Amino acid sequence: MRILLTGVAGFLGSHLAERLLREGHQVVGVDNFASGQRQNVAYLSGFPGFSFVEADAAKPLAVEGPLDWVMHFASPASPPRYLKLPIETLLVNAEGTRHLLELAQAKGARFFLASTSEVYGDPLVHPQPESYWGNVNPIGPRSIYDESKRYAEALTLAYHRSRGIPVRIIRIFNTYGPRMDPLDGRVVTNFITQALKGEPLTIYGEGRQTRSFQYVDDLIEGIRRLMEVDYPEPVNLGNPEEYTMLELAQLVLELTGSRSTLVHVPLPQDDPKQRRPDITLAQRLLGWQPRVPVREGLARTIAYFREVLGSPALG
């Protein structure tokens, strides 16, 4: 297959591109490095089926030749990043989705949207099934990401229903692993980098809010399975194993051997109190469930960060 993949320099985009390239497909990667890392593109350039276009995915793309898939993974995904790039985040998820759907239609390609568990907001239903409509503040600081992804889902299904474009939508729950940017501001990267540097681990609020963490390889496997199934509506991909932030911090301290302390800071506005996927649909539709335990995945991720940060072994 020949696949256009936006956000290819990002954490998830680079892993997905590598999987597709190793399977023998061609990948046309697109990124403007607003939040992606150039070293990810440099690594992918070693594969013969890879080509790269430096461009803003929020704007129309001119792509020569046939395409089998248009896969939209371009967007800042961590709160610090999208809060610094509010307009850009809104546009890449709104206008970018529209332009890429138009491209998919013109090429006779299938369209794949990377959405997010953030569409559920601060959920009042737990765990969250795909049928849950969510509890999102439409004008809060996080709305630039939450609402633009909700709009992207609506737009994707509108093109499917009105124009017949074959589409897939995933709602990604917290994912971690090698190639995460140490400075992206998400909780796993924060805890690991702080622990390896011997700095206090930052806990927002009391640390009793929960998240569910899946290793990147599990997510990529779910994506590949969904590509092979004709199902246009959203599918949750996440690990139902739930941790409070305090539990996660203690696990990171244990695995790194760090003597870092914990420091509590005020909870950000609209920060979800709990987040855990109902993956019944993915299990039934795809025969998928996460395989990598959090302890094992964190150990792999910590090993990667030790190398990236040049940190001596602490444990």
Q: Read off φ and ψ for residue 265, nearest 5 degrees.
A: -130, 165
The residue from 120, 145, 159, 215 that is catalytic is: 145
Is residue 31 within 8 A of residue 97, CB to CB? The reply is no
- CA pair distance 78, 74, nearest whole angstrom: 12
| Residue that the structure tokens 């909700």 belong to | 150
Q: How do the residues of the chain divide into helix, strand and coil, expressed in percent and rounded to 5?
A: 40, 20, 40
Residue 145 is among the residues annotated as catalytic for this protein: yes
DSSP class per residue in 75-113: S--SHHHHHHSHHHHHHHHHHHHHHHHHHHHHHT-EEEE
286: CB partners within 8 A, 6+ apart: 222, 225, 226, 229, 235
CA–centroid distance for 252 within its chain: 21
- CA pair distance 30, 285, nearest whole angstrom: 30
Cβ-based neighbour number of residue 231 at 10 Å:
13
Q: DSSP state, 178?
A: T
Cβ-based neighbour number of residue 24 at 10 Å:
10
Q: List, by residue number, the catalytic residues.
A: 145
